[in-house]
Amino acid sequence: MTVSLPLVFDAPRRGMPPRHLADLDAEGRRAAVEELGLPKFRADQIARQYYARLQADPARMTDLPAAVREKIGDALFPPLLSVVKHVACDAGETRKTLWRAGDGTLLESVLMRYPDRATLCISSQAGCGMACPFCATGQGGLNRNLSTAEIVDQVRAAAAALRDGEVAGGPGRLSNIVFMGMGEPLANYKRVVAAVRRITSPAPDGLGISQRNVVVSTVGLAPAIRKLADEGLSVTLAVSLHTPDDELRDTLVPVNNRWPIAEVLDATRYYADKTGRRVSVEYALIRDINDHPWRADMLGEKLHKALGSRVHVNVIPLNPTPGSKWDASPKPVEQEFVRRVNAQGVPCTVRDTRGQEIAAACGQLAAEN
């Protein structure tokens, strides 16, 4: 298959929303406040409202004088994301939100509540340019990158909804973030890394979620994986491999034509070496496509050779997109696949797939709209 592959990690700031507080680091925040003729201390005061109180409406920042609220609102809180709809399932414990950005762009996030944690799956791009043929988002192509603030605000909004008891199970705390919604996070590299810093820094610089509870996924942009390894972060890297052989992967994950499996695994090993973190390998199991016993053996062998025990394989039963020829593997095939990968000394489990009935696979809700 011929696809046009992105040549740069960060496309120009096309269609980006105006600057928002969450786009700025501490220094940028202070400079912005000074530009407005306000004393520097207001910068941290506003940031505490946003990151600690989860307040995104300056009119409600009651510890600020009214005139300041208006100025701040105009300069640092442009309209960012508005809810188009929430769709819930799993007795309300899974909630998908379809958002509309200021320019009309649609994007999604999914909140999943478990007994011991609450995980938010967020989007890093509107659409995706990676063209994986089994994925709803991939079919529509890339619309645009999301800004840092558009990424961060998905998290702030979910944390506020949980705190305020809007999600079944009573008031709670958002604990985990996975960059597994729409888009290839490492194709929007600078904004995603800035968002990770805002999400994980303590207030007033960020939302204070532990770096260890953040997962950044990628289809394998090898140079960007190496760059991420050098950022000094300790987030978990999840590499979507989907098959251990280049021949099939060239079709399933077209970016493999640019960075084949050996290069992806080299970069992944570098990430594990630099960060000391175990990496995840994601494997969407597709009936009669990549679910063969020999592929399970080959996957286990290659991963064990490249990463030893510093890897965990998540098998994801494919969530078929409407009208697609791709389907999930039968349960016995799935079980045999998992058994064989484990037999190579590589831990492998089947991922709980929440939200199937609300089209929670990335891009499905936006595609329907």
The window from 71-79, 83-91, 133-141, 290-298 that contacts ligand SF4 (CB under 6 A) reads 133-141
Using CB under 6 A, pick the residue from 132, 155, 267, 328 that binds ligand SF4.
132
240 is in an annotated binding site: yes
Half-sphere exposure of 282 (CA within 13 A, CB side): 22
366 binds ligand SF4, rule: CB under 6 A: no
Measured from the Cβ of residue 369, the count of other Cβ atoms closer than 10 Å reads 11
Tokens of 74: 């105009």
Using CB under 6 A, pick the residue from 135, 177, 307, 341 that binds ligand SF4.
135
Distance CA 30, CA 33 (A): 5
Distance CA 293, CA 273 (A): 30
108 binds ligand SF4, rule: CB under 6 A: no
- Site mask for ligand SF4 (CB under 6 A), range 202-231, x = bound: -----------------x------------
121 noted as active-site residue = no
Residue of 27, 34, 108, 334 marked catalytic: 108
348 noted as active-site residue = no
282 binds ligand SF4, rule: CB under 6 A: no
Closest CA to 33 of 20, 42, 24: 42
Tokens of 32: 């912005």
Residue with tokens 């020999």: 294
Question: Which one, 17 or 129, has the nearer CB to ligand SF4?
Answer: 129
241 is in an annotated binding site: yes
Question: Which one, 319 or 329, has the nearer CB to ligand SF4?
Answer: 319
**Minimum CB distance to ligand SF4, residue 308 (Å):** 27
106 binds ligand SF4, rule: CB under 6 A: no
121 is in an annotated binding site: no
Distance CA 145, CA 15 (A): 9
54 binds ligand SF4, rule: CB under 6 A: no
217 is in an annotated binding site: yes
Contacts (Cβ under 8 Å, ≥6 apart) of 148: 22, 23, 191, 194, 195, 198
Question: Which one, 58 or 317, has the nearer CB to ligand SF4?
Answer: 317
Using CB under 6 A, pick the residue from 138, 300, 317, 320 that binds ligand SF4.
138
22 binds ligand SF4, rule: CB under 6 A: no
**Minimum CB distance to ligand SF4, residue 50 (Å):** 28
What is the CA 273 to chain-centroid distance, rounded?
A: 23
362 binds ligand SF4, rule: CB under 6 A: yes
Contacts (Cβ under 8 Å, ≥6 apart) of 228: 186, 189, 193, 216, 237, 271
- 204: preceding bond cis by omega (within 30 degrees): yes
- Which residue number places its CB atom closest to ligand SF4? 138
183 is in an annotated binding site: yes
Contacts (Cβ under 8 Å, ≥6 apart) of 262: none
Distance CA 297, CA 1 (A): 26
Which positions make up the binding site for [4Fe-4S] cluster? 128, 132, 135
- Site of interaction with ligand SF4 (CB under 6 A): 128, 130-132, 135, 137-138, 182-184, 219, 362
- Residues with catalytic function: 108, 362
